[in-house]
Amino acid sequence: MEERIHYLLQQFSANKLSPAEREELLALVDGGSTILTSEIVKMITAEEDCTTEVLEERWNPVLNKILAIDRPKPAPRRILMNTLKWAAAAVVFITLSVTAYISLNKKKEHVFATDVAPGKNKAILTLADGKKISLSDATTGNIAEDAGLSITKTADGQLVYNISEPENVDDKRLNTISTPNGGQWQIRLPDGSTVWLNAASSIQYPLNIGKADQRVVKLDGEAYFEVAKDKLHPFIVETDKQSVEVLGTHFNINSYRDEIVTKTTLLEGSVRVLHKSTNETEVLKPGEQSIVSASGIDVKEADVDEAIAWKEGYFKFNNEKQVSILRKLARWYNVEVEYADPEAKEVMYYGTVSRFEKISKVLTKLEQTGQVRFDIKTNKIIVYKE
C-alpha cells in the first residue's frame, strides 16, 4: 500500500495522474489516511532543508492543491461539507505530524565521532604495454606517446586521445581506464565519444576505435556514454551479462558485479540490448530502461534523473532499500558496511543528497526515517535497526 501511495504522490507532483488515479488519491485524502500522511512526511523530511518554514512555504500549497482538485460529480451540500471537513482534518493532521516528525528527528540527530570525505576525480590509465599512469597525479599536457598517438590530460582533468598517423596504430592494442572506490573520471575516446566512469569501474577500448568496423568497448561497473555519431561504425558496449549496440546516443549502463541485475537507461537516440545467456534482444526508446537478469530482459519507463544522478553530482533514492543505497555509498566513500541488524537492509528511503557531502551528512538524512541508525568506525559503517 505504501508503494502505491508513493506512486500516486509522485504522479500528482508531475501532473501525470490519470482520472482513476486522481479519484484514488482523493479518496485517501478525504478518508484521512494515516499511510498517506506517513508517505508525505517521508517525502518532506527527505528534502535538503527540512524545517517548519519549508513545510509552510513549500508543502502547505501542495496539500491545498490536492484539496483543490475538482470532483467529477457535484455532491449535495451536506455530503460536500462532510468531505471538506475530512479533507481539512487530513491537512491539519498531516501538518501537525510533519512538524512533530521534524522536531523529533532534530532531537535524535547525533554527531558522529569520525567522518569520511566523499570521492573525487581519481583513476588509473593502463597502456597497451602494461604501463600504469595515475591520472589524478599526472600534470596537464601530454602524459603518453606512441607511434602516431598522443594522450593529453586537459586542465579540467579530461583525457583526450589524438591520432595523427592512424595507419601506425595497432588494431589489437588496448588501453584501460579504471577508477577505484572513491574515484570517478571523464574520458574522450579516440573516436570522439565521451565517457563518464563512476566509482569502482573500468572501461577497455582499442586505440584505433574510430577506424574499426565496430567500435567495441568493455565495461565493468557504471558509465554514462555520449557516443559520437558514425553510422558506418556501430558503437558496442560489452559487459559480462549483455551487449549494447548504438549508432549515436546518450545512455547510462550500471553493470556492477555485486548487483543482481544490469540496467541500461536511454536518454537520447536508440540502443539494442542483447542478453548474452538467452540471446533475447530489446530495442530501447528514449526514457526507457532495460533490466537484464538471469531470466531475461524487462523494459520499463525509466526514472532518468535517478539513473544519472551520480553523474550530475548527487544521489537520488526512489523508495530504495538501504542495502542497495549502502552499496552505492560504499563505492563512492570507499568504506565497508556491516549490518549489526540484518533487518535494516529492508528499510526503504526516498530522497536526494549531494555526493560531495561528507558521509555523516548522508547518513543523517537516512536516519530521518526513524528506522535505522549508523555508527562510523574509521572506514566502516555499522548499521542498526531502530
Q: Are residues 339 and 269 in the same domain?
A: no
Between 173 and 198, the higher pLDDT residue: 198
- In the listed set 288, 306, 324, which residue is the last one of a domain according to the structure? 306
371 inside domain: yes
221 inside domain: yes
The domain that holds 279 is classified in CATH as: 2.60.120.1440
Mean pLDDT of all residues belonging to the chain: 81
Q: Are residues 300 and 368 in the same domain?
A: no
113 inside domain: no
165 inside domain: yes
> Does the pLDDT of residue 28 top 50, yes or no?
yes
Write out the H or E segment, with its range, that includes residue 194.
strand 194-197
Q: Scan for cell 566509482, then name that residue.
A: 199
Alpha-helical (H) ranges within 195-344 are 304-307, 309-312, 322-333
Provide the residue range defining the domain that includes 95: 2-108
DSSP 94-149: HHHHHHHHHHHHHHH----SS-----EE--EEE-TTS-EEETTTSPSEEEEEETTE
Q: What is the mean pLDDT of residues 267-296?
A: 96
Please compute Rg for the chain using Cα positions. Answer: 25
**Phi, psi for 57 (deg, rounded to 5):** -80, -35
pLDDT at 194: 93
Banded model confidence at residue 14, pLDDT cuts 50, 70, 90: low
> Does the pLDDT of residue 297 top 70, yes or no?
yes
pLDDT at 347: 93
Banded model confidence at residue 109, pLDDT cuts 50, 70, 90: low
Q: Are residues 70 and 187 in the same domain?
A: no
114 inside domain: no
Please give the Cα distance from 382 to 338 (Å, whole number). 5
Q: Are residues 256 and 193 in the same domain?
A: yes
Banded model confidence at residue 191, pLDDT cuts 50, 70, 90: confident
Q: What is the mean pLDDT of residues 97-112?
A: 56
Percent residues over pLDDT 90 in the chain: 49
Lowest mean pLDDT among 23-32, 72-81, 256-265: 72-81
Q: Which of 198, 175, 226 is nearest to 122 (CA)?
A: 198
Number of domains in the chain: 3
State the distance between the two ends of the chain, measured CA to CA, in whole angstroms. Answer: 22
Banded model confidence at residue 81, pLDDT cuts 50, 70, 90: very low
CA dist list (Å): 223 to 106, 151, 307: 37, 21, 11
Judge contact between 279 and 257, C-beta under 8 A.
no
Q: Which of 233, 237, 261, 234 is nearest to 251 (CA)?
A: 237
Tens of pLDDT, residues 307-357 = 999 999 999 998 899 999 999 999 999 999 999 999 999 999 988 899 999
Q: Tell me the three state secondary structure of residue 301.
A: strand
Please give the Cα distance from 176 to 296 (Å, whole number). 29
pTM for this model (two decimals): 0.74
